[in-house]
C-alpha cells in the first residue's frame, strides 16, 4: 500500500511509536475517524515520543471503544493508563463501563478506582488458592463428568472471586488441576454420550418439582470437546488417503519418517492450521464455522493458525475485502499467528512448477476452455499432453515473460484422464492473466490455480491439519498427488460439513449479485448472514461462536440448520448482556387527567430484571407526567377475556409506574382513528391489572420525547432454501424484510447511546444502534424478537 501524503507518513510513524504492528497502523490510517481519535488520544496521553506495546494497545482500545458520552473524562483515564494503574484489558473494559454509566457528570476517584481494580495485585498464589477452592467445591461433579465438565463455569467462578486475575494464568492452572485430578483422557472421555430413549412414567404431582431439582442433565453438545477427533502432529505418518489410478496402481499417501521428523523439528511438534479465505467478498456465517475449526483447533492444542489470503485471482480481489477479513477475524475473537498471502509464495510456486515439468508431471497446453471441457467429458488426452519436457519448459518460461497471449496457453498437471475422479483430469496449474496483482503488482502475468497453490502453500507453511468443507473431498486425490510428485511434506486433510442456514443465500456469487444490484444495502446489510451484517444487526461474536460450537464439527452433509437455532443463541447472549429500556414504536398519546399539568415524577426503571435495590447503576430514571405515550397496538376499542392490552373502561399497569384506567377516547375527524386517550392513574396502586405496557412520558409539559428511527428486519427470503429455486431465486426475496419506523419514541436515557450499543426494548425485542445514526437522530436495528421458537420446530 502506498501512503497518500506527508500526514499519512507522520501518522504511521506516530502509531508505530506506541507499539502498534505495521499492518494495524496502516489499516488505521485508512480510517479517518480512528486516525483522528488515536492521534488525539496519543497527544492527550503525552506519549508522542512513544511508549511500550502494552500501553499502546490500551490506548488504541481507548481510541476505538471509549464511550462518546463521557469524553470529558478521557484524560483522567489516560493518566491511569500511562502510569500503569490500569494495565489490563479487563480493567480497561471496566473503565469503559464506568464512564458509559457516568456520562459527563462528576465522579469520585475512589469509586472509579474500585470499579476498575486499581491497585489490586493478584498473585499467581492467589489464583492458585482460588482454583484449589473451586475444585474442592465442585470435586464430586468433576469426578463424575470428568473431561466433560464445563470448564467455562469453573473459569467463571474463579473470575468472580478474582476479577482482575490474569486469564491466561487462570486457564493454565485450571487445566493443570484437571489433569492432576483426572489424569490422561480415556477413550470414554472422548466419546459423545448417546441419549437413550426410554419410556418415562409420569411422576406424581407432588414429586414433579423434586424430580426436576434432582435430575442431573447430560452435558450439552457445547460442553464437549469438538477437536478430540483430530490426530496429533506426530501421528501424521499414517496412510489416511489412497489415490487409485486407472492403470491399477494405488498411491498410499503418507509422510516418510525423515520428512515428518524434519517437519516436527520446524514446528516443535505444535499444531499448525490455516484459515484461507479468498479476498473477493465479505465473510459470512459459514466462514465463522471455518474459523471455529481452524483457529479453534490451534488454540485448543496450544498451536498456531495462519490467516492466509488465497489471492491467486487478481481480477476479483480488492483491498477493501482484505481489510475487512482481517478486521472481522479479530472481531470474532481469533488472533492469527501470522498473516500471509499465497502471493508471498509466487516465486516458490513458480520454481516448483518448473520442477514439476522437469519430472514429467506437467505440460504446457494450448486447448481453449471449451476444448478442455469437451476432452474431459470424453476422458481424452490433450494433443499436447506428451510434448517433450524441454518444449514445455521453454513455453512456460515464455508464458512467464508475457510472450504468449492470454487464453493461448495453460500449464496443466499430468494426472490421470481415465480416473473415476474428475478432479484428476489434468487440472490447470497456471493460466495467463495480464492483470496487475493487488499485492504483487505487475511482476507476474501468470497466476497459479487454487488446485496447484492451495496444497503447495499448505506444505510450505508446514500446516499439520488442512481442514475444509466436504465439497473439497474429491480434491484430496489431486492434493496428495501433487505433493507426492514434488516430494513435499503432506499435511493431514479432513473435511467437515458445510454450514447451511435457512432463509438466506451464502454463495459468494449470489451475495455479490444482490449487493451489486442493490437488492440489499451493502455487504453489511443487517438482513444478510455476512458477519458484517450480523454485527451491524447487533449480534455478538460470542453468540455466533456458541451457535457454531453447538452444531459441532461433523461430516454429515446436506443438513439445513434452521435460522431459529442461531436466534436462540443470540437471545441467550443478549438476555445476559443487553440492558432493558422502553421504546414505543407507534406512539398513541395518553393524557392522565387526574395528574397536574406541570407535575413530573421521576420513577426508577430497571436496566436488569434481577437488579438489586442497593445498586443505583442497575436503574435509570423515567419521567411520569400528564402526557405519556403507549403503542397503538396496545389499544383496541373492543375488549375480550384473552386480551391484556388497553381498552375503554379497562385498567393496565404501566411498567415501573402506576395502574391507569381508560376514561375517554378522542377520535380524529374521520371518527375512526384514535387520536388520544384520556385516563386516570391510581397513585395508591390499589388496582391489580393483568396487562403491563411499556410507555414513554414527556420529560416536561409539551416537550416531545426522544424521537428515534427503528428498523424492523425479517428473513430476507421467504423460502427456507431459496437455492432450490435455481434461476428463480431472486423472486423469493421478501419485500417486507425491512420496515422502517421513523417516528418511534424512546426514553431520554437513550440519547447518549453509541453505535453498536445493544438494548432490550421491553416487550419488543433486542435492538442495536446502527452506524447511520447522527447527532439528534438515533437509528436502531432490531436484532431479534423476544420470542424463541428453537426447540419448537427449529432444527
Three-state DSSP state, 630: strand
Contact in structure between 694 and 655 (CB atoms under 8 Å): yes
Measured CA angle at 496 (ends 190, 292), to 5 deg: 75
CB contact burial 517-544 (16+ within 10 A = b; e otherwise): eeebeebbbbbbbbbbbbbbbbbbbbbb
Beta carbons of 790 and 568 less than 8 angstroms apart? yes
Torsion of CA 96, 97, 101, 107, to 10 degrees: -60
Q: Return d(Cα 241, Cα 679) in angstroms, integer.
A: 77
DSSP 646: B
All three cell numbers of 560: 439445513
Distance, in Å, from the CA atom of 281 to the CA atom of 324, rounded to the nearest integer, reads: 9
- Phi/psi for 664 (5° steps) reads -165, 150
How far apart, in whole angstroms, are the C-alpha atoms of residue 681 and residue 654? Answer: 9
CA atoms lying within 13 Å on the CB side of residue 726? 0
The Cα 104–Cα 120 span in angstroms is 27
The answer to whether 588 and 629 have CB atoms below 8 angstroms apart is yes
The Cα–Cα gap between 381 and 383 comes to 6
User: How many helices, marked H, and strands, marked E, lie in the chain?
Assistant: 25, 27
End-to-end CA distance of the chain: 46
Report the C-alpha gap between 165 and 124 in whole angstroms.
8
Question: Rounded CA gap, 294 and 277, in Å?
Answer: 12
Q: How far apart are CA 280 and CA 322, in angstroms?
A: 8
How big is the chain, counted in residues? 795
The residue to which cell 420446530 is assigned: 793
Strand order across the beta sheet in which 338-341 lies: 272-275, 304-309, 338-341
Cβ distance 490 to 255 under 8 Å? Answer: yes
Measuring CA to CA, which residue among 664, 659, 655 is closest to residue 637? 664
- Which residues are known catalytic residues? 278, 498, 508
Side by side, the strands of the sheet bearing 674-681 are: 692-693, 651-654, 659-667, 674-681, 587-592, 627-631, 696-697
The C-alpha atoms of residue 565 and residue 550 are separated, in whole angstroms, by 9
Return the exposure string of 47-61: e unless at least 16 CB atoms fall within 10 Å of the residue's CB, then b. Answer: beeebeeebbbbbbb
Q: Output the nine-digit C-alpha cell for 136.
A: 474442592
**Angular region, 68: left φ>0, alpha ψ -120 to 50, beta rest:** alpha
Q: How far apart are CA 781 and CA 241, in angstroms?
A: 49
- Alpha-carbon distances of 763 from 53, 576, 655, 693, rounded to whole Å: 45, 16, 10, 8
Which cell numbers hold the place of 38? Answer: 488515536
Cα–Cα dist 305/312, whole Å: 20
Query: Could you write out the three-class secondary structure of 700-713?
Result: CCCCCCEEEEEEEE
d(CA 537, CA 769): 8
Q: 380: exposed, middle or buried (C-beta count within 10 Å: 0-12, 13-18, 19+)?
A: middle
Report d(CA 428, CA 365) in Å as an integer: 9
Q: Which of 409, 404, 316, 300 is nearest to 365 (CA)?
A: 409
Amino acid at each position: 500500500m502506498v501512503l497518500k501524503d506527508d500526514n499519512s507518513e507522520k501518522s504511521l510513524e506516530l502509531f508505530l511509536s506506541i507499539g502498534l504492528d505495521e499492518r494495524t497502523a496502516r489499516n488505521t490510517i485508512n480510517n479517518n475517524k480512528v486516525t483522528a481519535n488515536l492521534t488525539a488520544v496519543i497527544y492527550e496521553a503525552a506519549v508522542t515520543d512513544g511508549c511500550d506495546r502494552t500501553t499502546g494497545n490500551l490506548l488504541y482500545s481507548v481510541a476505538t471503544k471509549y464511550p462518546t458520552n463521557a469524553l470529558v473524562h478521557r484524560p483522567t483515564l489516560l493518566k491511569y493508563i500511562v502510569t500503569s494503574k490500569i494495565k489490563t484489558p479487563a480493567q480497561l473494559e471496566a473503565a469503559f463501563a464506568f464512564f458509559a454509566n457516568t456520562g459527563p457528570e462528576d465522579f469520585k476517584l475512589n469509586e472509579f478506582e474500585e470499579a476498575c481494580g486499581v491497585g489490586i495485585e493478584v498473585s499467581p498464589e492467589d489464583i492458585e488458592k482460588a482454583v484449589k477452592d473451586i475444585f474442592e467445591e465442585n470435586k464430586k461433579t468433576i469426578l463424575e463428568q470428568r473431561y466433560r465438565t464445563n470448564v467455562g463455569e469453573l473459569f467463571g467462578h474463579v473470575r468472580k472471586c478474582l476479577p482482575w486475575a490474569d486469564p491466561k494464568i487462570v486457564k493454565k492452572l485450571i487445566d493443570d488441576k484437571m489433569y492432576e485430578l483426572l489424569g490422561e483422557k480415556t477413550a470414554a472421555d472422548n466419546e459423545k454420550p448417546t441419549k437413550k430413549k426410554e419410556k418415562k412414567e409420569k411422576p406424581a404431582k407432588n414429586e414433579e418439582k423434586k424430580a426436576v431439582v434432582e435430575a442431573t442433565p447430560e452435558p450439552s453438545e457445547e460442553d464437549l470437546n469438538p477437536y478430540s477427533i483430530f490426530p496429533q502432529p506426530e501421528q501424521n505418518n499414517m496412510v489416511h488417503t489412497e489415490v487409485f489410478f486407472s492403470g491399477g496402481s494405488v498411491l498410499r499417501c503418507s509422510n516418510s519418517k525423515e520428512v515428518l521428523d524434519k517437519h516436527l523439528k520446524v514446528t516443535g511438534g505444535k499444531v499448525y492450521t490455516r484459515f484461507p479465505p479468498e479476498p473477493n467478498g465479505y465473510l459470512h456465517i459459514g466462514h465463522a464455522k471455518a474459523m471455529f475449526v481452524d483457529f479453534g483447533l490451534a488454540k485448543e492444542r496450544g498451536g498456531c493458525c495462519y490467516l492466509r489470503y488465497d489471492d491467486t485471482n487478481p481480477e476479483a480481489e480488492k483491498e477493501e475485502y482484505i481489510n475487512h477479513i482481517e478486521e472481522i477475524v479479530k472481531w470474532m475473537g481469533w488472533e492469527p499467528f501470522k498473516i500471509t498471502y499465497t502471493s508471498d509464495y509466487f516465486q516458490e510456486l513458480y520454481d516448483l512448477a518448473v520442477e514439476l515439468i522437469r519430472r514429467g508431471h506437467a505440460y504446457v497446453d494450448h486447448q481453449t476452455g471449451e476444448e478442455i471441457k469437451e476432452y474431459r467429458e470424453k476422458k481424452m488426452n490433450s494433443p499436447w499432453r506428451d510434448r517433450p519436457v524441454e518444449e514445455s519448459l521453454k513455453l512456460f518460461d515464455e508464458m512467464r515473460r508475457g510472450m504468449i497471449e492470454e487464453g493461448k496457453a495453460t500449464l496443466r498437471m499430468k494426472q490421470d484422464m481415465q480416473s473415476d475422479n474428475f478432479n484428476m483430469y489434468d487440472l490447470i496449474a497456471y493460466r495467463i492473466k495480464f492483470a496487475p496483482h493487488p499485492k504483487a503488482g505487475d511482476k507476474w502475468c501468470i497466476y497459479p490455480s487454487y488446485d496447484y497453490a492451495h496444497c503447495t502453500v499448505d506444505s510450505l507453511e508446514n500446516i499439520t491439519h488442512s481442514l475444509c468443507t466436504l465439497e473439497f473431498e474429491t480434491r484430496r486425490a489431486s492434493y496428495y498427488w501433487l505433493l507426492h510428485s514434488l516430494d513435499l511434506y503432506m499435511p493431514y486433510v479432513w473435511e467437515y460439513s458445510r454450514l447451511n442456514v435457512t432463509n438466506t443465500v451464502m454463495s459468494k456469487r449470489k451475495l455479490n449479485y444482490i449487493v451489486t444490484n442493490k437488492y440489499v444495502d451493502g455487504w453489511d446489510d443487517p438482513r444478510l448472514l455476512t458477519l458484517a451484517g450480523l454485527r451491524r444487526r447487533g449480534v455478538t461474536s460470542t453468540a455466533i461462536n456458541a451457535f457454531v460450537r453447538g452444531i459441532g464439527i461433523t461430516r454429515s452433509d446436506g443438513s439445513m440448520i434452521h435460522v431459529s437455532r442461531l436466534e436462540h443463541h443470540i437471545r441467550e447472549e443478549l438476555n445476559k448482556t443487553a440492558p432493558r429500556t422502553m421504546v414505543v414504536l407507534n406512539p398513541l398519546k395518553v393524557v392522565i387527567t387526574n395528574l397536574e399539568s406541570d407535575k413530573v415524577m421521576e420513577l426508577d426503571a430497571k436496566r436488569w430484571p434481577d437488579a438489586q435495590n442497593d445498586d443505583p447503576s442497575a436503574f435509570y430514571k423515567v419521567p411520569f407526567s400528564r402526557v405519556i405515550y403507549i403503542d397503538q397496538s396496545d389499544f383496541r376499542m373492543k375488549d375480550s377475556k384473552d386480551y391484556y392490552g388497553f381498552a375503554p373502561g379497562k385498567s393496565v399497569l404501566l411498567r415501573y409506574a402506576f395502574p391507569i384506567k381508560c376514561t375517554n377516547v378522542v377520535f380524529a375527524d374521520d371518527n375512526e382513528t384514535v387520536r388520544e386517550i384520556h385516563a386516570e392513574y391510581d397513585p395508591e396502586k390499589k388496582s391489580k391489572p393483568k396487562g403491563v405496557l411499556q410507555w414513554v412520558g414527556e420529560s416536561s409539559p409539551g416537550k416531545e420525547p426522544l424521537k428515534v428511527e427503528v428498523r424492523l428486519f425479517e428473513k430476507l427470503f421467504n423460502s427456507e432454501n431459496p437455492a432450490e429455486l435455481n434461476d428463480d431465486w431472486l423472486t423469493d426475496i421478501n419485500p417486507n424484510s425491512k420496515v422502517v419506523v421513523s417516528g418511534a419514541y424512546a426514553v431520554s436515557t437513550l440519547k447518549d447511546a453509541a453505535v453498536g450499543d445493544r438494548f432490550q426494548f421491553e416487550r419488543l425485542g433486542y435492538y442495536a444502534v446502527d452506524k447511520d445514526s447522527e447527532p439528534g437522530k438515533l437509528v436502531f436495528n432490531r436484532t431479534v424478537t423476544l420470542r424463541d421458537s428453537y426447540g419448537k420446530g427449529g432444527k
